[in-house]
Amino acid sequence: MKVTSSYQDGKLTLYLQGELDHHEAAAVLRRVSRTVDDYLPRDCVVDMGGLTFMDSSGIALILKISRLMGETGGRAWVENARNQPLKVIDASGIDRMIKVV
């Protein structure tokens, strides 16, 4: 699992690549939390274009990012989710709480 990021004009984009499962989730969550804390962005985009697999730990990650952003008055949303991760998102109903583009 690889996480990269870019920051521009108050918007942090997190690029997730590979497979996100419970074995990877804790390390990814720590890295994402540090990155959000470092930049304190106004907006945070979770780009899942490179994510080939996600289980329920991905939902926990999205919720954590949303909570982190909410604590500072920011916003978070998901973009470019591929088929399999999108099915998990749809099944969870999280798209009623967090925008999925």
β-sheet with 2-8: strand ranges across: 2-8, 11-20, 43-54, 75-79
pLDDT tens-digit series, residues 60-86: 999 999 999 999 899 999 999 999 999
pLDDT tens-digit series, residues 4-62: 999 999 999 999 999 999 999 999 999 999 999 999 999 999 999 999 999 999 999 99
Q: Which domains does the chain have, with CATH numbers?
A: 2-96 (3.30.750.24)
Q: Is the pTM of this model over 0.85?
A: yes
What's at 98, amino acid-wise? I
> Do 1 and 33 meet the contact criterion of CB atoms below 8 Å apart?
no
